Amino acid sequence: MKLDLTKYGYDPKELNTYLILLSAPVLLSVYYYFGYSHFYMQTFVKDLVESPLGEFNSRIYQFVSFFILMFVVPAVFLKPRIGMSFTELGMGLGDKKFGFKLIAIILPILIPVMYFATNAPDIIAEYPLSKTLYQRPDLVFPYELAYILFYYIAWEFYFRGFLLFSLEKKFGGINAILIQTISSCLIHIGKPAGETIGSIIVGVIFGYLALRTRSIWYVLILHVAIGVSTDLYVLFFHGVAR
């Protein structure tokens, strides 16, 4: 029996669009099962007494895995197919005037607000992801640096860059924003409820700002400010009683 997908709307000319859409569930599934820290711990760490930094290393492994899956794979294997430059995918500075003004206004407000937003039991229990940092504050800087370079840059490149801009022409800006918001929200399932719900709101707002500025860098700065300040506030203020 011949399988005829054309009656369901299949168009061979839209193969790249199908690959882009499928990349989200495929890459995120691989990340969850083989890129998370629990995979590293189960596979490589047999005894925390013998490997005291095993938990810390598992988080670095998680960040690097995310970078490979959400930055390297789309950039090397998918980007050439869609014929868009890195600048077109949001890697340029875009509207610098609006972008820098945005940062100058929001960042001074965001940092102090995060102090109060992170003073919640579920947030304190969740962050920082590596609990080793409580015993090894000397590892905070390399941890946060890896967090930014491997996790946050890959996150913004994939969701607010590759996914958003590659789908904008096909589905329109609003639909592209919603698609990347749906995808990025999936990673938050299992996180504190407020964070998961907030990721939907932030996903829409950051998606719009990325389109408005034609760049991922301004939302990256804001995203990094949220994530790193959460870690530092919990680590040095809210979670000191651990």
Calpha distance 98→108 (Å, rounded): 16
pLDDT of residue 48: 74
pLDDT of residue 11: 82
pLDDT of residue 3: 73
Considering the entire predicted model, what is its pTM?
A: 0.94
**What separation in angstroms does the CA of 214 have from each of 95, 97, 162?**
7, 12, 12
Residues (pLDDT < 50) of the chain are none
pLDDT digits (tens, 9 = 90+) for 70-94: 999 999 999 998 999 999 999 999 9
Q: For the CA atoms of 120, 122, 124, 126, what is the dihedral angle to 10 degrees?
A: -150
Q: Identity (one letter) of the amino acid at 241?
A: A
Q: How far is CA 213 from the centre of its chain?
A: 19
Which residues in 92-108 are b (16+ Cβ under 10 Å) and which e? eebeeeebeebbeebee
pLDDT of residue 167: 96
- Residue with token string 């711990």: 41
Query: Rounded mean pLDDT of the chain?
Result: 93
Q: What angle do CA 224, 227, 61 make, to 5 degrees?
A: 95
pLDDT of residue 51: 79
Which residues in 12-21 are b (16+ Cβ under 10 Å) and which e? eeeeebeebb
DSSP 85-126: -TIIIIIS--SHHHHHHHHHHHHHHHHHHHHHHT-SHHHHHH
Domain boundaries, the chain: 6-238
pLDDT of residue 207: 97
Calpha distance 36→53 (Å, rounded): 16
DSSP 172: -
- Specify the 3-state DSSP secondary structure of 39: helix
pLDDT digits (tens, 9 = 90+) for 119-128: 999 999 999 9
Q: Identity (one letter) of the amino acid at 20?
A: I
Q: How far is CA 144 from the centre of its chain?
A: 14
